[in-house]
Amino acid sequence: MRILGVDPALSITGYGVIDARRNSLNLIEAGIISTSSKDRLPLRLDKIYGAITKLISDTKPDVLVLEKLYAHYRHPATAFLLGQARGVICLACETENIPLAEYAATRVKKAIVGKGLASKLQVQRMVATALSLNNLPKYMDVTDALALAIAHSQISRVRI
């Protein structure tokens, strides 16, 4: 199964594509989609949408995985902007006919580390280990996207 994990944000959206076969995970591609805060919001959303659509077309995933939206009551504007980025990613899934899966951050951490309250560094190290990476990903957004993809491979295997 080819899985595209996406950690959405307006400034830096991380992504990671893995192949999950039986007992092996292979990294296909990972990186970021960045937008400038100097650009108008519609342009930034269009850039994310276009990049995700191209990524789906290029890598042909079987599923796209997003983190469920969690918003802190003290930062409603952040949640609003994040929701817009998630929205164009969901739209890309629909237009490209790709199934969408969503997991809470604690569910992802539990699948990756074994603890729902694991630290970012613990998740980063487990992602690197699971994918046999020599170096930790440069951006935490990439780590989070890869963690989503890895978690889905484990969770969907349990459901089958």
Mapped onto helix, strand or coil, the DSSP state of residue 100 is strand
SS3 21: strand
Task: Indicate the DSSP class of residue 22.
Answer: T
Query: Which of 39, 67, 94, 144 is flagged as catalytic?
Result: 67
Neighbours of 112 (CB within 10 A): 24
Query: Is 141 tagged catalytic?
Result: yes
Among 46, 58, 141, 144, the active-site one is 141
Continuous segment of H or E residues that includes residue 29 = strand 24-34
- Tell me whether residue 7 is one of the annotated catalytic residues: yes
Task: Name the catalytic one among 7, 58, 96, 144.
Answer: 7
Supply the residues annotated as catalytic. Answer: 7, 67, 141
